[in-house]
Chain A
């Protein structure tokens, strides 16, 4: 009876978003009379940072301070259509829609400023700090706030924009089966070190070392937050979580938090993360979105590490002590695979 160390590796090529008859999201942007901008979405922020990231994207595109941008989400009565927050699609799809809406609003902002300054809109630029000036002549300027006031009360003009981003439906070629369901991929590679007790079948994950490629990390702290929390959920799915009963009877299945197992604060695994940035061409400022894919590589890496430790190949999740013990019995004991 012994505790065996195992190491497992997995890597993933993760498609951002999905494509079942097309994958669209929309955004609307409008200015308030005092020169703040409202981004209206019906995309939901579940805590993954949609509001922060779309706010940054809108501010960057409009050329106004991030403090002057407000994001209103999650009301499908007042916001334009969004397919939803899943498949790591939010940053990519909604971000692109926001860029388009903000580009249109920026154009109107510059036209309104041009009328006030009596110049051509093409000659104007923003300084990102709330001012619009003539290119090469920063002294000839007007504030965004004054422009919005003039547009509203003098010119009778809206400063607003509409945006949609659509990945169109991709039909499979009837002859070859070829199709292009996805335009953008994120990547990850992950090594898990763990221990398997061959007497109890209990697995203890010791350390995770990972590299995630997420395009440009638009908000590095939010990316890190997603990766830490997502990988934790990967561990949880690999070893604990199931709605199925552990034993033959349905009534042994988990009914509540007391029986639906998840690792707690005492089982936090050391996780060293390297974030690689390879901006994607069709992504908003290059950001792909780390969402769902941060959990995915953890599961196969753990399954491989368990095999490496004791030679038991579990092909159903979660990898419970019971499954490991059954495997050990079938194999006539632990068969450590060693390091290669």
Chain B
């Protein structure tokens, strides 16, 4: 199949990759670029494991046509940490034991990141709503909600 060149910014870095026509962004990120932080859970938009930010907005990469991100900025969990320094959300997830198998975690982190970018002081209900498109099989959600609230209040270490 003929491939086309796709250029976009991935976690701040100029990225170019050849993609098949009609390829979805999740596939391109994982196999084309090698960023395996977005996960494949369902491939049909119902689990949230593949969540990424496109120009700051939360999107399901499995349902995004890769070519539509040309020239745009894509952010994944791989870009959350600043060098060795983890993002406040990552710290709060670790301190709050908010991951078990970890499969949902990258999607949860991106959904939480999108929430906190637009609403730095969310209520418990705001958090529950923000992650309502993300399925978690392991945690029962409560530790995830607590961790996001802890990160928001700057008390990411309160579980330590």
Can you list, as one digit per residue, whether each of A159-199 has a CB less than 8 Å from chain B (1) or not (0)?
Answer: 00000000000000000000000000000000000000000
B143 near A228 with CB under 8 A, answer yes
CA distance A61 to B150 in the complex (A): 36
Question: Cβ of A268 and Cβ of B44 under 8 Å apart?
Answer: no
* Interface segment out of the listed B56-64, B67-75, B84-92, B125-133: B125-133
Determine whether the beta carbon of B46 is less than 8 Å from that of A265.
no
Chain B residues near A266: list those with CB within 8 A: 125, 128-129, 132
CA distance A231 to B101 in the complex (A): 16
Give the contacting residue for A231; candidates B131, B140, B145; CB below 8 A. Answer: B140
- Report whether B47 and A257 are in contact in the complex, using a CB–CB cutoff of 8 Å: yes
Cross-chain contact B100 with A48 (CB below 8 angstroms)? yes
Q: Chain A, 285-328, contact with B by CB distance < 8 Å: what is the 0/1 string?
A: 00000000000000000000000000000000000000000000
Does A256 reach chain B (CB closer than 8 Å)?
Answer: yes
List B contacts of A229 (CB < 8 A).
100, 138-140, 143
Q: Which residues in A have some Cβ–Cβ distance to B below 8 Å?
A: 46-49, 221-222, 224-225, 228-233, 256-258, 262, 264-266, 268, 271
CB within 8 Å for A224 and B44 given contacts A257-B135, A265-B145, A268-B141:
no
The answer to whether B47 touches A265, judged by C-beta atoms less than 8 angstroms apart, is: no
Closest to A259 in B: B46
The answer on a CB contact under 8 Å between A268 and B42 is: no
**B36 CB → nearest A CB, Å:** 17
Across-interface contacts of B142 in A (CB, < 8 A):
228, 232, 268, 271
- Count, A-B residue pairs, CB within 8 A: 70
Rounded to whole Å, the gap between the CB of A94 and the closest CB of chain B is 18
Q: Quick one: given A225-B139, A232-B141, A257-B135, are A268 and B100 in contact (CB under 8 Å)? A: no
C-beta contact mask, B137-160 vs A, less than 8 Å → 1, else 0? 111111111000000000000010
A233 — which chain B residues lie within 8 A by C-beta?
Answer: 137, 140
Query: What is the bound-complex CA distance between A48 and B137, given in angstroms?
Result: 12
B101 touches A47 (CB 8 A): yes
Given contacts A228-B142, A257-B47, 16 further A-B contacts (CB under 8 A): A46-B101, A47-B99, A47-B138, A222-B97, A225-B100, A225-B143, A229-B140, A231-B140, A232-B142, A258-B44, A258-B46, A264-B135, A264-B141, A265-B128, A265-B136, A266-B132
Interface pair A225/B101, CB less than 8 Å apart = no
CB distance from B6 to the nearest CB of A (A): 29
11 A/B residue pairs, CB under 8 Å, sorted by A? A228-B143, A257-B41, A257-B44, A264-B135, A265-B131, A265-B141, A266-B125, A266-B132, A268-B140, A268-B145, A271-B142
Tell me if B102 counts as interface (CB < 8 A to partner A). yes
Cα A257 to Cα B41 with chains together (Å): 10
Which residue of A224, A264, A271 has the most chain B CB atoms within 10 A of its CB atom? A264
Given contacts A231-B140, A256-B44, is CB(A225)–CB(B145) below 8 Å? no
Q: Which residues 102-139 of B have a CB within 8 angstroms of A? A: 102, 125, 127-129, 131-132, 134-139
Tell me how far the C-beta of B113 lies from the nearest C-beta in chain A, rounded to whole angstroms. Answer: 16
CB contact between A221 and one of B41, B47, B97, B101 (< 8 Å): that residue:
B97
Chain A residues whose CB sits within 8 angstroms of the CB of B144 once the complex forms = 265
Q: How far is the CA of A222 from the CA of B96 in the complex (A)?
A: 10
Q: Which of B127, B136, B144 has the most CB of A within 10 A?
A: B136
CB closest chain-A residue, reference B101: A47
Q: Interface centre among A221, A225, A233, A256, by most B CB within 10 Å? A: A225
Chain A residue numbers with a CB within 8 Å of B41 are 257
Which A residues are in CB contact (< 8 Å) with B159? 221
Contacts of A231 in B (CB 8 A): 140
Q: How far in angstroms is the closest Cβ of chain B from A272? A: 12
Residues of B close to A265: CB separation below 8 A? 127-128, 131-132, 134, 136, 141, 144-145
Contact A47 B102 (CB under 8 A): yes
Across the interface, which residues of A come within 8 angstroms of B47, CB to CB? 257
Q: Is the CB of B140 within 8 A of A232?
A: yes
Cα A262 to Cα B135 in complex, Å, equals 9
**Which residues of chain A have C-beta atoms less than 8 A from B42's C-beta?**
256-257
Residues of A within 8 A of B131 (CB): 265
Q: What residues of chain A lie closer than 8 Å to B100, measured between beta carbons?
A: 46-49, 225, 229
